[in-house]
Amino acid sequence: MRPTPALLLGLFLALLAAAVQILLFRHYMAREVSWGFVLRGDTNWYVWQVYLLVEAFRAQDWARIWHATTTFAWGMPLFFEAVAIQLIHGTSRAGIAFVNLIYFLLAQAATFAVFRRIGGSAWAGLAALALLLAMQTPFRGDGIGLNIADFHFDLVFFYFLLGILYLVAWSDTFARLGPALAVAALAALAVATRLVGAFLLIGIFGAFFLYLLVRRWRAGPAARLRAGTRVVNFLWSALAFVLLSALPVGIAGEALYHHYFRFVFEPDYRAMREGLYTMGADLGAEAAQLLHRMLAYDFGWAFAAALVLALLAAFFGRRDRHSLSGYGETGLARLARDGESRRAYLAFLILAVLVSYAMHLLFPIKSDHLTRMTAAPILVGIGLLLAPAIGRAAAAAGPRRIAALAALGLLLAVGTGVQLRFYLSPSRFSAQREDVQAVGRLYADMSRIAEARGLKSVAMSTDKVGEYELGPFLGFIIREYERRGVLLRFYPRLGAFIDRPIDKATALRQVEQSDFVLLLEDPYPKSGWPFMKSVAGFHDELAAHVAARHCLLGHYQIWGQRNALYVRPFHWTVAASASSEAIYGPEGLFGHGGTIWHGPWSATTREQWVRFEAPAPVRLAGLTLTAQDGAPARAPRDFRLEALDEAGIARTILDVRGADFASRQTQRFALPPGEPARRYRLVLTANNGDPSFITIQDAQVDPVERSCEGIGSR
């Protein structure tokens, strides 16, 4: 069949739209997501994980890659796709965000192709494409802000869901086995990309299966055979989906439970987070809020206005609302001609809307994410009403053609406006320039210290829940990697778990283990986060404890809050006589407490040692050791602490016999007054009975005095 002028025009416009978006993407990245800008919120975590995986692939560290696969509660394909781009084109935030742009362009192509087949003309495909471009969903960040860097898991799942809906339409709603199995494969891939999507898809397809059973039960003898075929094909599809999606869900099942369903099934855990995940005072208020957010933020008010006008223009003067002439002889032609197929597919869309909306409303954790799941079938349903009507009217003559072209022009104008707003509007940082610059100074001061001390790993603490220090200070790790090519090993201490409370003793111990500590200065704000609610009870003591042990690096006014940054007076350089594996080296001791040290031990081993050095002589007041969790038999029993002079001659300053960590995991040993030394050595001569290892989970020493000379910000 020769291509029609409308088809050529539609293809040209679709390709032109994609080309323009790709060309503008570079401008957007330079304006919004270049490495000099501060990443905020979940984007920090997402970019950092990609960088970690990039380095793991370069090092062929398959153990780390497998560990990430089992501990990510979100799914791995999107991460691996971003890693592939990084490995090919080099490290950049643009490469990570480009994955999302690829999915959006694929969604545009699928929308045009499917609705061209549904409507029987390129005009219908172009109308559906304009409808998709007019939505805000693909680019929504926070509120009405448009931000490609912030949309990741849920929007990619949105695109997959669109693909599933299109494929269901193409396959005549499970009337054929092959396309039914293709639906299962695509749904399983969606689950692998967004693991929690398994429950949404099970709900949607489960409800639709009940619908098919009811339709078969009510069908007459002639229609019962076709209805039975759909039921059988659906069961094969369901079996394929369960088998395929069970693999990624099973691999990361524990992480999936802890991230989502611990909140559902553990009342005590949920009680600590009361009030955090709500959208209103009661269920009715939340239902209204969900609808409002979908209309205002997913579809957009302009989309709604254009939709009303387009529907009026498309259906004005239409005499036979049930006429479906003009469809091509495709798999979708049966959907057009067969009333049962049409009813089944519309029922599928309605069930998808109701199930996704109900699951979001009833699930205890509320967020804007799943409104996009409800928006997807609504978009397809509107397209089924609108696109074929515009296609038929555009092929007609007279007023209907004029009305159809006017409606199409309006949709294209709205879609173009939404896209240009995203790409060309002023930077979202323009109103936050001073705050962003303050964060930049904060990171620069930390970088100066880390670079001067040659740090390969850092431990960091903060007393607040925020976005730019998510983790905390995850943005700093990302920036150092992008600026210097150094991926610091990262040990978040205080503030790492913002959704759980912390006691004072643990908080004090964690800041002691930190290289950098960022504290809010009075007044300490009220917050609904369990972490901040617990810190509020001892914040003054926490601040005094940090000020007495760390050095003030500088003050920073960020987003209306005054912050004080403290740094450890100096950094110990640590070495050991031996380690069982490289990942269990001693570098985490006498510093951040992030990595346990395992030393090999046997019946013939006489001793192991851990040496730690300061840049200048320092006098010590105490030594604190923490045994490995659940393994007191591996803890040191007999040991001595030696001070070494510049010639390497040792002077014993502590000698311990019979230390027992079974009853008390962390123990402090006071040190007598003595001369300062630059190098110290902890000599371990016996453990508590383990035949294979001697281990220390954490070690800290208390200097008698500290020197903060030259540390302040410049």
> What is the pLDDT at residue 326?
37
Instruction: Tell me which long-range contacts 56-59 makes (C-beta under 8 A, separation of at least 24).
Output: 57/83, 57/87, 58/87
The string of DSSP letters for 454-496 reads T-SEEEEEESS--STTHHHHHHHHHHHHHHHS---EEEE-TTS
Q: How far apart are CA 154 and CA 260, in angstroms?
A: 14
> What is the pLDDT at residue 147?
46
Q: How far apart are CA 523 and CA 525, in angstroms?
A: 6
Q: How far apart are CA 607 and CA 625, in angstroms?
A: 17
User: Quick one: residue 658, left, alpha or beta (phi over 0 = left, psi -120 to 50 = alpha)?
Assistant: left
Strand partners, 640: 655, 683
> What is the pLDDT at residue 325?
37
The 3-state DSSP class for residue 59 equals coil
Identify the CA nearest to 17 among candidates 125, 93, 79, 108.
108
Rg (CA), the chain: 31
Unique residue bearing structure tokens 């229609």: 223
The 3-state DSSP class for residue 513 equals coil
The crossing angle, in degrees rounded to 10, of helices 77-89 and 42-58 is 60
Identify the CA nearest to 569 among candidates 515, 611, 624, 617.
515
pTM for the full predicted model: 0.84
> What is the pLDDT at residue 143?
41
Amino acid letter for position 667:
Q
> What is the pLDDT at residue 145?
43
Q: Is-contact 143 297, C-beta < 8 A?
A: yes
Q: How far apart are CA 49 and CA 60, in angstroms?
A: 16
Q: Is-contact 269 365, C-beta < 8 A?
A: no
Identify the CA nearest to 101 among candidates 428, 377, 576, 419.
419
The crossing angle, in degrees rounded to 10, of helices 42-58 and 62-71 is 150
Cα distances from 355 to residues 137, 335, 375, 558, 695, in angstroms, run 19, 23, 12, 42, 52
> What is the pLDDT at residue 187?
92
Q: What is the dihedral sign for C-alpha 388, 391, 392, 393?
A: positive
> What is the pLDDT at residue 400?
79
Cα distances from 546 to residues 371, 462, 619, in angstroms, run 43, 11, 19
Q: How far apart are CA 167 and CA 172, in angstroms?
A: 9
What is the domain partition of the chain in residue ranges? 105-424, 432-567, 573-703
Q: Is-contact 370 297, C-beta < 8 A?
A: no
The crossing angle, in degrees rounded to 10, of helices 153-170 and 177-193 is 180
> What is the pLDDT at residue 463?
92
The DSSP element (H or E) to which 565 belongs, if any, is: strand 561-567
> What is the pLDDT at residue 323?
38
Residue 673: CB atoms within 10 A of its CB come to 9
Q: How far apart are CA 284 and CA 75, in angstroms?
A: 32
> What is the pLDDT at residue 490?
85
Q: Report the Cα 340 to chain-centroid distance in Å.
A: 41
Residue 126: CB atoms within 10 A of its CB come to 29
pLDDT tens for 194-232 read: 888 888 899 999 998 998 888 888 877 777 777 788 889
Residue 675: CB atoms within 10 A of its CB come to 10
> What is the pLDDT at residue 317?
47
Q: How far apart are CA 83 and CA 478, in angstroms?
A: 15
Q: How far apart are CA 693 and CA 483, in angstroms?
A: 39
Cα distances from 284 to residues 291, 297, 361, 368, 387, in angstroms, run 11, 20, 10, 16, 34
Unique residue bearing structure tokens 């036979």: 320
Residue 187: CB atoms within 10 A of its CB come to 28
Question: 299: which DSSP letter?
Answer: I
Q: How far apart are CA 277 and CA 286, in angstroms?
A: 11
**What length does the chain have?**
714
Options 3.20.20.370, 3.30.2130.30, 2.60.120.260, 2.40.10.10; CATH of 573-703: 2.60.120.260
Q: Report the Cα 194 to chain-centroid distance in Å.
A: 10
Strand partners, 555: 564
Kindly tell me the number of DSSP H helices and DSSP E strands found in the chain.
24, 15
pLDDT tens for 509-560 read: 889 888 999 999 878 988 888 899 999 999 999 999 999 889 999 999 988 8
Residues of the chain with confidence (pLDDT) below 70: 1-3, 6-7, 10, 34-36, 138-153, 275, 277, 280-281, 310-311, 313-339, 364-370, 427-429, 470, 592-594, 712-714
> What is the pLDDT at residue 339?
65
Identify the CA nearest to 149 among candidates 83, 101, 193, 97.
97
Q: Which two tokens stand for residue 263?
A: 């909140």
List, in order, residues 6 or more apart from 537 with CB less than 8 Å away: 504
Q: How far apart are CA 490 and CA 446, in angstroms?
A: 14
Unique residue bearing structure tokens 């840049």: 615
